[in-house]
Structure 1
Amino acid sequence: MSAAMLTADWFLLGRELYYRKFEIYSMAWHQEINLENYIASSASYGGPIAIRRDDQKFVKVQGTGQPIISIFSGSGKQIASFKWTRRPIVYMGWSNDEKLICVQEDGMVVIHDMFGKYLHTFAISQKVQDAKVIDAKIFISPQNFTGIAVMTSNFKIFLVHNIQEPKTRQLSELPRSSMQPTCWSVISEESTEVLIARGLELYRLKQDEHLTSAMLEPDITNKYTSILEMAVSLNARHLALCGNEAVVLYWERDSTLLVVGKYGQKMLYSYDGTVHLVPEIDGVRIVSNTQHELLQKVPEVVQKIFRINSTDPGSFLLEASKQFQKGSHKANEYICLVKNDLQTAVNQCIEAVGYEFDTEVQKMLIRAAQFGKCFVADMRSDSYVYMCRLLRVLNAVRDPKVGIPLTVTQYPFFLKPLYVKLKCMKKKEQGLLDRLITRNNYYLALQIAKYLKMPEKEGSSHILVHWAKYKVSQSQLEEETVAREIAEKLGYTSGISYSEIASTASEYGRKN
């Protein structure tokens, strides 16, 4: 594979600032879904996508016409679909543990799992119910809890910092004016505040309803008449940050996507239909009717290896490996060029392979690293082995049948330790297993646990308990059949909490 082909999807946004846009999946829904008629919401870190019909669009529907919420994997494979029989939805989004959150106009918050199973409901505030919700935002609090901010018809903002233990707090109010807010966004760092724009004005709302909102002066040199969109967090539909050095804008009217660098350089893309932007920590996912793409800054180490005319050690080592595969004597010439930096070259190839989705490119870089290791005496293989293992896991969850397009950059954040009631911390791998368990993908979870040689308590036993709890919750199955399957599967596996299984069985009316 030539350097020109490997960099074909790159584009320049300033000096030495390369970005790339490449396809992750061809969407399985492409013949069924037209995003122009839907409102979509995707969970971060490659999570599921929920869609519902846009009430503002006139669309021919079959049946009763009741709203339907459909949930898909990142590859467009349908996970669930259910009718919405409650009050109108103002906002729909996802929690950090992939629960679907629907905020109604009456201030009620309804939570479902990704299979559409109802979990629970809570009210934000009586004041909110009286005033009616006109908009909402979902955010992650500094304590890593999922929070909700709502705006009422009288333009007051209310916050709930943790949907698991909802306590409502009203923010400071805007100065009186006949003008309506044009956009707003939640900032959640050391504390949670709201930025709200009203025409030319920009205000910061703090967590005290008795304080006056602070007016800010945007550092905008060009003349402007109104602030229409803000992107300061991972919530966007028409505007999204792409890393720290670019912003992505989308015009729905003509289906145009514009990527703007921090110094004003631009790249324009046209689409055949509506697209949905999903901001991530390392880029922006672009979901269209036919494709799921990732737009990101090209990682520095990838630039060093694949950039045309690169003289970095990793680039020479890759070329040496290619020539060696061909049986050419040129392999030795390239090794001589990099002989003093071979360890750096190997490390560059190992690091770069993690950023690649294409398995052929992965193999090419792994072969280069393996080839280079042969010339470095006493080089430790820890990082090489770790990356090979990590790639197998990432490729497994990226498979279209699973549909989690997780990147190597997102991996530590996706598996960020979650605080539980006992204040213990979950390990990285167990976090990934929990995501697979949530999807009822028990077999893959077991395979990963065995491959990573996880302790039974955290790996196979943990997974089998959840599988057994899922089995006893299936009311259509006969008790004897369920009991026999569980006994055969669990056998004498150590670390199994049968009390948990029995408790779940009791909840579903299985007493025997």
Structure 2
Amino acid sequence: MAAVAVAVAAEWQLLHDRYYRKVEIYSMQWGRMDLARHRVACAPFGGPIAAIRDDSKIVQLYAESARRKLHIFNSAGVPLASAAWDRPGGRLVGMAWTDDQSLVCVVQDGTVYFYNLRAELSAPQFSLGKECFEQGVVECVFWGNGMICLTEDRQIFCVPDFKNPKPCKLADPGIEEYPLCVAVIEPQYTMSGNVEVLLGVDDYVLAVEEDGVQQLGIGVGPLQKMAVSHNGKYLATFTHDGRLLVITTDFSRIISEYNCEADENLRLIRSSLPEAVEACIDAAGHEFDVSRQRTLLRSASYGRAFCSHFSQDRDRFQEMCKTLRVLNSVRNHEIGIPLSIQQYKVLTAPVLIGRLVNANHHLVALRISEYLNLNPEVVLMHWACSKITASPAMQDAALLEILLDKVPLLLSIGEEDTALLKATESGDTDLVYLVLFHIWQKKPALDFFGTINARPLARDLFITYARFYKHEFLKDFFLSTGRLQVG
């Protein structure tokens, strides 16, 4: 046990006053894929991965075709789709996923293409304009549903929203050399409501907007990398001399500075029981390994017994168990959506279910909907539509038979009698009980009795249940069917 604890502790690395670790969630299923030879785009929230051989690099072709292919995988590296890359317009210079999981591809002449999860061209292509076509695009930076691009003449163009693509030119940054690094503050986090582009130049940063350029952070650089926080308030930067700085995006103050080669003191661990229980629950939520989740939750459960705070309120513990059950189901490599708990909270369960549906994981989506007490109608309707779309050669009668074979779908469209017939024919008692309880709640008692009396299996299961839990209701059933005489 001590050896296991040491091994787990050794996985964590101290950075400033926080510990971090890298967790291997999947052993990637994509075979001999060499990422160093490819341009790769990973969707957020455990979304798909797109990869295409990087034509800016000279690579040796082994047993593969010289013709490039666009490959799409799930987060476990399971292939979802592929298509030959035959887009005109020069070299591919930018590729990223949008919030609604469309793949955006930008080529050198400023043409923008969209692909869906099946590697098919989806939304209409558009151009970034004449100047981009003439100057050539050399780099793109993307955010949720927009992007900026830099041209060879060091001009910046912006598409604030892919759903309404209207390219606009930002102010001329007036630089002679290409910037060391580029970052973007999204429009919703700027005072002007427009995108703000940060360019690392010499020992300072230029903030470029549509109507002007501002010089910030003089003396802070040269900066090698920049990353803006999700709320747009902070900027993490890595300097040429190995310092990691966290700065407010207006460069008014440095939040923290960390020398990557310095020694740091270990944090003191708080030992009070309520905090320890809270920490175990939180840690379980952040853990991807199921066995460790169980260990942490067992520890929290044991600690709760000695903690008056948690004896009064079990909601948080139970909610975490429910959340982890959902997360573990979609993290399975067959589904391949390795969401963290923070991502799940931001994404929300209905959006996750929508993504499962779009990826044709209808059964998982249905089970999660039922588990979380969400309306499964959207899942069932999408499943039915996908069956119809995927079966163009099938006769309508045969297709209808397949659709009506799904008991939950029948219940959702009000076909209770057919649902009961299908359930009893299957011999699955759980399925029969599901239909019985559904009809019981919806129909008047006499109608319900008449329905089940014609189905021996349904009738017998009802009698068994009512004998233990609904004596008076069972008496009413016997009276209505003439099995019990009033004397």
TM-score of the two chains, using structure 2 as the length reference = 0.71
- 1:48-67 equivalences under 5 Å are 48-55=48-55, 56-60=57-61, 65-67=66-68
User: 1:118 aligns to what?
Assistant: 121
Find the aligned partners of 1:73 and 1:248 in 2 and give their Cα distance.
Answer: 31
User: Matched residue of 2:378: which SS?
Assistant: helix
Find the aligned partners of 1:245 and 1:169 in 2 and give their Cα distance.
Answer: 25
Instruction: State yes or no: 1:366 paired with 2:282.
Output: no
Find the aligned partners of 2:366 and 2:243 in 1 and give their Cα distance.
Answer: 43
Q: Is the 8 A contact 1:138 1:148 kept in 2?
A: yes
Shift in alpha-carbon separation, 1:64–1:475, aligned structure 2, 3 A: farther
| Aligned partner (choices 129, 139, 143) of residue 143 of structure 2 | 139
Instruction: State yes or no: 1:434 paired with 2:350.
Output: no
Find the aligned partners of 1:258 and 1:202 in 2 and give their Cα distance.
Answer: 16
Instruction: State yes or no: 1:109 paired with 2:112.
Output: yes
| Aligned partner (choices 366, 369, 384) of residue 449 of structure 1 | 369
Shift in alpha-carbon separation, 1:376–1:180, aligned structure 2, 3 A: closer
Shift in alpha-carbon separation, 1:484–1:109, aligned structure 2, 3 A: farther
| Counterpart code for 1:179 | E
Find the aligned partners of 1:38 and 1:351 in 2 and give their Cα distance.
Answer: 37
Shift in alpha-carbon separation, 1:89–1:9, aligned structure 2, 3 A: same
Find the aligned partners of 2:399 and 2:110 in 1 and give their Cα distance.
Answer: 41
| Counterpart code for 1:494 | S
Find the aligned partners of 1:9 and 1:259 in 2 and give their Cα distance.
Answer: 22
Instruction: State yes or no: 1:92 paired with 2:95.
Output: yes
- 1:326-405 equivalences under 5 Å are 343-376=274-307, 378-405=311-338
| Counterpart code for 1:122 | F
| Counterpart code for 2:380 | L
Q: Is the 8 A contact 1:259 1:266 kept in 2?
A: no
Cα deviation, 1:228-279, whole Å, max 9, x if unaligned, reads 4333368xxxxxx9x9898789xxxxxxx99999421349xxxxxxxxxxxx
Q: Is the 8 A contact 2:228 2:234 kept in 1?
A: no
Query: Which structure has the larger Rg?
Result: 2
Find the aligned partners of 2:163 and 2:235 in 1 and give their Cα distance.
Answer: 35
| Counterpart code for 2:287 | E
Instruction: State yes or no: 1:494 paired with 2:423.
Output: no
Instruction: State yes or no: 1:312 paired with 2:312.
Output: no
User: 2:445 aligns to what?
Assistant: none
- 1:43-442 equivalences under 5 Å are 43-55=43-55, 56-60=57-61, 65-87=66-88, 88-120=91-123, 121-140=125-144, 146-175=145-174, 178-188=176-186, 189-190=189-190, 191=193, 192-200=195-203, 202-208=205-211, 211=212, 213-220=213-220, 226-232=222-228, 262-266=257-261, 310=269, 312-314=271-273, 343-376=274-307, 378-413=311-346, 415=347, 428-442=348-362
Cα deviation, 1:94-131, whole Å, max 9, x if unaligned, reads 10122111112222211111221221122233332333
| Counterpart code for 1:358 | D
Q: CA deviation at 1:376?
A: 4.7
Cα deviation, 1:156-205, whole Å, max 9, x if unaligned, reads 11111111111222110122x54333332211123311112344453211
User: 1:323 aligns to what?
Assistant: none
| Counterpart code for 2:333 | P
User: 1:472 aligns to what?
Assistant: 388
Find the aligned partners of 2:59 and 2:73 in 1 and give their Cα distance.
Answer: 23
TM-score of the two chains, using structure 1 as the length reference = 0.68
Q: CA deviation at 1:491?
A: 4.6
Identity of aligned residues (%): 31
Q: Which consecutive residues of structure 2, in runs of 5 or more, have no partner in the other structure? A: 246-255, 415-487
Shift in alpha-carbon separation, 1:157–1:247, aligned structure 2, 3 A: closer
Q: Is the 8 A contact 1:355 1:408 kept in 2?
A: yes
Find the aligned partners of 1:171 and 1:152 in 2 and give their Cα distance.
Answer: 12
Find the aligned partners of 2:243 and 2:180 in 1 and give their Cα distance.
Answer: 21
Cα deviation, 1:53-73, whole Å, max 9, x if unaligned, reads 011122216575222111111
Find the aligned partners of 2:313 and 2:181 in 1 and give their Cα distance.
Answer: 53
Q: Is the 8 A contact 2:225 2:237 kept in 1?
A: no
Find the aligned partners of 1:103 and 1:35 in 2 and give their Cα distance.
Answer: 20
User: 2:478 aligns to what?
Assistant: none
User: 1:12 aligns to what?
Assistant: 14
Cα deviation, 1:444-488, whole Å, max 9, x if unaligned, reads 11111111121x3xxx21011112222233266424343432333
Q: Is the 8 A contact 2:226 2:236 kept in 1?
A: no
Shift in alpha-carbon separation, 1:382–1:491, aligned structure 2, 3 A: closer
User: Matched residue of 1:90: which SS?
Assistant: strand
| Counterpart code for 1:355 | H
| Counterpart code for 1:394 | L
Shift in alpha-carbon separation, 1:375–1:231, aligned structure 2, 3 A: closer
Find the aligned partners of 2:235 and 2:7 in 1 and give their Cα distance.
Answer: 25
Find the aligned partners of 2:81 and 2:132 in 1 and give their Cα distance.
Answer: 31
**Matched residue pairs, number?**
385
User: 1:297 aligns to what?
Assistant: none
Cα deviation, 1:313-344, whole Å, max 9, x if unaligned, reads 35xxxxxxxxxxxxxxxxxxxxxxxxxxxx44
Find the aligned partners of 1:230 and 1:464 in 2 and give their Cα distance.
Answer: 44
Find the aligned partners of 1:434 and 1:444 in 2 and give their Cα distance.
Answer: 11
User: Matched residue of 2:114: which SS?
Assistant: strand
Find the aligned partners of 1:127 and 1:484 in 2 and give their Cα distance.
Answer: 57
| Aligned partner (choices 484, 488, 491) of residue 401 of structure 2 | 484
Shift in alpha-carbon separation, 1:102–1:374, aligned structure 2, 3 A: same
User: 2:457 aligns to what?
Assistant: none
Find the aligned partners of 1:35 and 1:443 in 2 and give their Cα distance.
Answer: 32
